[in-house]
Chain A
Amino acid sequence: MNSKRIVKSTGRYAIRFVTLLIAISIISFILVSLSPVDPVQQYVGAVPNVSEEQREKIAEYWGLNDPPAERFAIWAKSLLHGDFGTSLIYRRPVLDIIGEKFAASLALMLTAWVFSGILGFTIGCIMGVYNGKWPDRILKKVCLTMCAIPTFWIGIVFLMVFSVKLGWFPMGMSVPKGVPADQVTLLQRIHHLVLPALTLSFLSFANVALHTREKLVDVLESDYVLFAKASGESRFSIWKRHGLRNILLPAVTMQFGSFSELFGGSVLAETVFSYPGLGAAASAAGMGSDIPLLLGITLFSAVFVFVGNMLANIIYGIADPQIREGYEHEE
């Protein structure tokens, strides 16, 4: 019975994934087609003396003169063959660019993700345990304020304080200037990673903390915690035995569900720190009217978000006894 259910839910999940991806491809294609920006002009850019004939040739080569539906069909077909086209600004296959940039982004996002998750959870627990008392009131105000701070501004402030004023950290990029890639040490990479990662984790940290707080307060006000108190359990034991047990799972799944904010935030954080990752590439693709790259990154980001949500669901299925053991014993 259980395996049948798993097959069924996996099937439904797969269908949803495919329909969403198709819809996203169609919508993003329509959106870029609507753009009044002339891609040929962008491509040719500042190069002088490009004749009308040459422009026409480029347009012809890109299929810009075909009707949009046809262009979409061609694009979709090559997508299915694993060909995302060639990036205009990097002049290389889109997939190569995405792979390379994502590797850099992954280090940044992973650091920020783990950091904000652990610290946010800890602070959230402190707030929840002190619900309504002064540590909670102060930390809550701090978190609410942090939620109102734009990622890019805090990045700028970090740069002003830690790089310009104190000189503790480099001004940006992922590696020192003028050093060949194979000679960059791990320490140098980490040194360049600290500020962007801190910036990126800034917002989600407060969200995690506030969310954890709400959950913990709910648990601590529940009937079963009342009964645990009545059974003589100490405050610490209640937090450890009942609090942690009941809030850890929602916190972990929420963290997996936050891939969308993580990716969105990386666009800003990477731009501020000129960090050569996928987020900065997304912004550059939009600015440079690099349609193949923009479409490629959009699709990739959708897959990224979907994978996060899927992991969240899988973890829930494994860790939640109600789902894991089903309702077999219910009468």
Chain B
Amino acid sequence: MEKKTKEEYVHPLLEVKDLSVSFRMYDTGLEQYDLKVISNLNIDVKQGEIVAVAGSSGSGKSLLAHAVMGLLPENAATTGEMYYKGMPLIQKEKEQLRGKEIALVPQSVAYLDPSMRVGTQVLGEKPDQRKRKEQKEVFSRLHLEEHVERLYPFQLSGGMARRVLVSTALISGADLIIADEPTPGLDLEMAVEALTCFREMADEGKAVILITHDIDLAFHVADRVAVFYAGTTVEIAPSKDFREGPEALRHPYSKALWRALPQNGFVPIPGFQPYAKALPKGCLFAPRCPNRTEECEKPIPMQELRGGTVRCIHAT
């Protein structure tokens, strides 16, 4: 799945710089505090490219999707910059672009209205002739039979539901597709099929952000992989580095993730991902890192290294 070089695209379709998101929370007895769930996160995606966002649960993967689409709840505060096609992306733009240029493929069938038939739902609020035609085509392409349109979400099987969710992004005709955990619950064959579908979209010139904790599948289909840890990006690397192994990777957490894969020895990483309420100073991975030094307690910037980027001062 080698792709042509990406230099031909000047602007990334989406660029996220130093994004931080915090929530205002209430503790027992009505104490109030801010919970920083994403800190200084960076990511970008170009047309024709799949960027996989990998990380364990609680690493802020889904929140990234919500932040890009302007879907965060009202008690959330964001800082940092976002650019779409080179233009700054603020809430108003997000609201105009979502569903038209940026589409979300949600996690589960819970994202479908339980009391509305599937057909009505995927067509959106203003179904026209073109959309109806598009929907028929997309359904047959995804092997969804015609009668599925008349079903309610609770009547869909797991695989059907997943394909229905994917179909919404295809019907919308968006340029940027953010898929939030599209594979769990699918058997391998179905998962590969779903991912192939995203590959096809990318090959048609769309940009895809694939949020997943299944990094194994991710680096087989994606062009680049962004590794998230405790709400920040620790490394962005070409997928081939993941296929090659730990020596090609840059961040100690990425290496550890690789070694934790079943086929690579299943070595667990000692320690826990820090909770957003008690983040360490400086490098967020430092408490679990074998290479940590005193320097790691200072803020760590993202740096370019061997064709990727990494947030580690010891990376070589």
Stretch at the interface among A193-201, A203-211, A223-231, A286-294: A223-231
Q: Is A233 an interface residue (CB 8 A)?
A: yes
Q: Which residue of A lies closest to B68 (CB)?
A: A230
Closest CB-CB distance, B174 to chain A, in whole Å? 9
* Given A232-B98, A233-B99, A321-B152, CB of A226 within 8 Å of CB of B124: no
Q: How large is the interface on A (under 10, 10 to 19, 20 to 34, 35 or more residues)?
A: 20 to 34
B85, chain A: closest CB distance, angstroms: 17
Given A245-B113, A329-B151; A223-B106 close (CB under 8 Å): yes
Flag whether A3 is at the interface (Cβ < 8 A): no
Give the chain A neighbours of B115 by CB distance below 8 A: 245-246, 249, 320-321
When the two chains form their complex, are residues A231 and B168 in contact, meaning their CB atoms are under 8 A apart? Answer: yes
Whether A132 contacts B74 by the Cβ 8 Å rule is yes
Contact B98 A223 (CB under 8 A): no
Within 231-261 of A, Cβ neighbours of B (below 8 Å) are at: 231-234, 237, 241-242, 245-246, 249
Q: Report the minimal beta-carbon distance from B98 to chain A, rounded to whole angstroms.
A: 5
Q: How far apart are the CA atoms of A328 and B152 in the complex, in Å? A: 11
The answer on a CB contact under 8 Å between B113 and A230 is: no
B residues neighboring A (CB under 8 Å)? 66, 69, 71, 74, 95, 98-100, 103-104, 106, 108, 110-116, 124-125, 151-152, 154-158, 168, 172
State whether A322 touches B104 (Cβ < 8 A): no
A325 and B98 contacting across the interface, CB-CB below 8 Å: no
Residue numbers in A under 8 Å from B108 (CB-CB):
223
* 4 additional contacts (CB under 8 A) given A231-B172, A233-B124: A223-B111, A228-B113, A246-B113, A320-B115
> With a CB–CB cut-off of 8 A, which chain A residues contact B156?
329
Tell me if A322 and B154 are in contact (CB < 8 A): yes
The 5 closest A-B pairs by CB, nearest first: A232-B99, A329-B155, A227-B111, A230-B104, A231-B99
- Binary contact readout A291-331 vs B (1 if CB under 8 angstroms, 0 otherwise): 00000000000000000000000000000111001011111
Most B C-beta atoms less than 10 A away, residue of A231, A242, A327: A231
Kindly list chain B residues whose C-beta atoms are within 8 Å of the C-beta of A322: 114, 152, 154
Q: In whole angstroms, how far apart are the Cα atoms of A233 and B115 in the complex?
A: 17
Expressed in whole angstroms, the Cα–Cα distance for A223 and B112 within the complex equals 8
Report which residue of B110, B112, B113, B156 has the largest number of chain A beta carbons within 10 angstroms of its beta carbon: B113
Separation of A245 and B116 alpha carbons in the complex (Å) = 8
Given contacts A223-B111, A229-B71, contact A325 B103 (CB under 8 A): no
Question: Contact between B154 and A230 (Cβ–Cβ < 8 Å)?
Answer: no
Are A224 and B98 closer than 8 Å at their CB atoms?
A: no
- Max chain A Cβ within 10 angstroms of own Cβ: one of B71, B125, B151, B157: B125
What are the residues of chain B within 8 A of A241 when measuring CB–CB?
A: 113, 116, 125
Decide yes or no: A226 and B155 within 8 Å by CB, A232-B99, A241-B125 being known contacts. Answer: no
CA distance A82 to B293 in the complex (A): 93
From residue A195, how far is it (CB to closest CB) to chain B in Å? 39
- Chain A nearest CB, measured from B31 CB (Å): 20
What are 23 A-B interface contacts by the 8 Å CB criterion?
A: A222-B110, A223-B106, A223-B108, A224-B110, A224-B113, A227-B111, A227-B112, A229-B69, A229-B71, A229-B98, A230-B71, A230-B103, A231-B99, A232-B95, A232-B100, A241-B116, A245-B116, A320-B115, A321-B152, A321-B154, A327-B155, A329-B156, A330-B157
